[in-house]
Amino acid sequence: MTISFGSKLQTNWDWRAAFNFMFGGSGSALLLMMAIFAAPQAAPLALALVALVLVGFGLLMVWLEIGRPWRFLHVFFHPQTSWMTREGSVGTVLFPVTIAGALMHSVMLLAFAAVLGFVFLYCQARILKAAAGIPAWREPAIVPLIISTGLVEGTAIAMMFFQGMNSAALWMPGLFTLFIAARLWMWFAYRDALARGKAPAGTLQALTKMHREFIIAGCIVPLLCVLMTFAFELGSWGTFLGGAVALISGWRLKYAIVVKASFKQGYGIGKLRKGRPIIKPPVRRAGDPIQL
């Protein structure tokens, strides 16, 4: 039996840090999905601005969380070791490239912005994994979970936009369904990995509380809405409802991981054995001095 103690909820990152992963992840994934949905033409300016607003709002929340906001330039000093530095560096390039591509209707620039958006999303996932003291973050399965969640959110926003513009293709709901299934698979893999790794009880309890909600609101409801759109000819209502529910469920998932399930590692004492310790003779090696 292992005795664990000292596992407390971390307080360094609060809802402002969670907002960066929530809105920044959605906006960066939207840059990728809007380029795919609009191909071979350039994505609309309005959708590009929505993506930048989401990314910018997430970065603003991080800036407000810093104890000394005017020292934010220190974020850019460690690109060789810090994924947060890499995220900020990608963000500084992402904004001008996206704005220039949207204003010039340049497919090449928007394609480059899409690549930067995916890199930004990947950096966010690696920021969490780099936190070695938080079992819920350092688990390797969190990387594909955060990426798949962002892709669901970006696809949901892009799908709702193109549906509202009456330019949605039949394959868009299919891609949305594929990402929903991938996110569900990654969610189960993530929870199983934490359980096998004996994560803190508070972490497992926080994830268990939202498990049923995530299955229903994050997977079943969006898929039913998409299917009902085709089966009952609901028009855009099914797409909007399914996309909105999938988007909000992704935000709630990341908020729970960053704020509610982020318990520290704590300490542990292994299995105790009865009896006296066994004293073994010292090991003699060749070349050791002779001791009398």
Higher-pLDDT residue of 270 and 12 is: 12
Average pLDDT, stretch 190-216?
92
The whole-chain average pLDDT of the chain stands at 85
pLDDT of res. 283? 66
Q: Which residue has the tokens 């971390």?
A: 10
**Class for the domain spanning 9-269:** mainly alpha
160 Cβ neighbours under 8 A, 6+ residues apart? 239, 240, 243, 244
Span 21-72, pLDDT tens digits: 999 999 999 999 999 998 889 899 999 999 999 999 998 888 777 656 555 5
Span 109-162, pLDDT tens digits: 999 999 999 999 999 999 999 988 899 999 999 999 999 999 999 999 999 998
Q: Which helix (H) or strand (E) holds 4?
A: strand 3-5
163 Cβ neighbours under 8 A, 6+ residues apart? 236, 239, 240
Burial (CB count within 10 angstroms: exposed 0-12, middle 13-18, buried 19+), residue 47: buried
Q: How confident is the model at residue 238 (pLDDT cuts 50, 70, 90)?
A: confident
Query: Does residue 232 register a pLDDT over 70?
Result: no
Domain layout of the chain by residue ranges: 9-269
Q: Are 251 and 153 in contact (CB under 8 A)?
A: yes
Look at residue 118 and give its three-state secondary structure.
helix
Structure-derived torsion over alpha carbons of residues 281, 282, 286, 290, reported in degrees to the nearest 10: -90
Q: Which helix (H) or strand (E) holds 267?
A: strand 267-269
Task: Give the tokens for residue 64.
Answer: 């407000």
pLDDT of res. 1? 46
Q: Are 94 and 122 in contact (CB under 8 A)?
A: no
Span 183-195, pLDDT tens digits: 999 999 999 999 9
